[in-house]
Structure formats: C-alpha cells, structure tokens
Amino acid sequence: MATMLAAMAVSAPSCAAAAESLSKSFSGLKANTLFAPKCANPLAISNGSRISAMLVWKPYDNKKFETLSYLPPLTNDQIAKQVEYMVRKGWTPCIEFDTIGSVYREHFHGSGYYDGRYWIMWKLPMFGCTDSGSVLREIAECAKEYPTAFIRVLGFDAKRQVQVAGFLVKKPSQ
C-alpha cells in the first residue's frame, strides 16, 4: 500500500507540470480573440474579381452526354480513332440511339426499364469487330434511319462484363 502511494505521489507532480506547461502556452490569449468579430454590415462584403468564377452553369438547353460531350462534335476521323482504341483493347463496340437522349419519366415516377436510362440498341453489339470502318458504316446507317435521334457508341469489356467506354457521335442537330 505504501508503495502505491509513493508511486502516485511521484506521478502526480509530472501530470501537474505537464498541465501547467500546457496552460502557459495559452496564457496570453483572451477568450474573445478566438472568434472573428462580427461585421456590422454583411452586405459590404465583396468578392471583387472572383465573381465570374461563381456563376452557375446554365442547366437548360445545355445537356451533356457521355464522356466527350464537352468537346466540339467529333469528326469521322476522331470517331474512328476512338473506335480503334476500343478494338485494340478488345472491347466490343455497340451502337445505341434515343430520341430524347436523357433520363426522363413518362408513365411512372419510380425507376424502371422504360425511364430513359436505357437507349435503344442498333442491331446487335459488334462482336469480333476488327476495324473502325464497319462501325462508322453502322453509325451512318443508323443516322439515315433515325435522323432526329441521338446516337452513341459504347464499348463493353467481356472480361469485366461492364461498359468501359461511351461517347456521343451524333446529335439531332448535326
């Protein structure tokens, strides 16, 4: 029992010394300096030249689709290069089209198959495709058949069983 009291007596001053040195570092601070003073007129605050960086993106009539939709419309050569990349990776190209081109709910407010998330597949996926020319011909045929539709090309990876690429190749206005 005496040894426990001696051990407690030895450790008590070290804890007090640590607390004392900790309080010395905050001894010059006042409680009201921890918080910023309130501004008398909150309307006087200005962002100056940074205002243009805070503008909201126009959400109407400015829809963006898939990966490359922020770029200008792709040329046939650029589409061919994207498809060649997919073919080199071993992905299966697939062409889809839709007249609206975005998610919409027509008959039911819950999510389901016909809520605009799924586009209509043009023919079958192009299994075994080895050249971009055949994909470009199918895109042209789809555009001829459905001139007022959005057309996109998807790339599917058979090993991972997921869509790994997708980009818009035609909008109705093109």
Instruction: Give residue 151's region: left, alpha or beta (phi > 0; psi -120 to 50).
Output: beta
In one-letter notation, the amino acid at residue 22 is: L
Does 127 have pLDDT greater than 60?
yes
3-state DSSP call for residue 21?
Answer: helix
Strands, E assignment, 106-170: 120-122, 150-157, 162-170
∠ Cα 150 156 157 (to 5°): 165
Does 66 have pLDDT greater than 70?
no
What pLDDT is stored for residue 47 in this prediction? 55
Placement of tokens 């004392």 in the chain: 20
* Residue 71 pLDDT level (bands cut at 50, 70, 90): confident
Tell me, yes or no, whether 3 lies in a domain: no
Question: Domain total for the chain?
Answer: 1
State the CATH number of the domain containing residue 154: 3.30.190.10
Question: Distance between CA 164 and CA 156 in Å, rounded?
Answer: 6
pTM: 0.58
Tell me, yes or no, whether 81 lies in a domain: yes
Tell me, yes or no, whether 71 lies in a domain: no
Tell me, yes or no, whether 147 lies in a domain: yes
Tell me, yes or no, whether 68 lies in a domain: no
Does 7 have pLDDT greater than 60?
no
- Domain membership of residue 95 as a residue range: 76-170
Tell me, yes or no, whether 58 lies in a domain: no
Tell me, yes or no, whether 8 lies in a domain: no
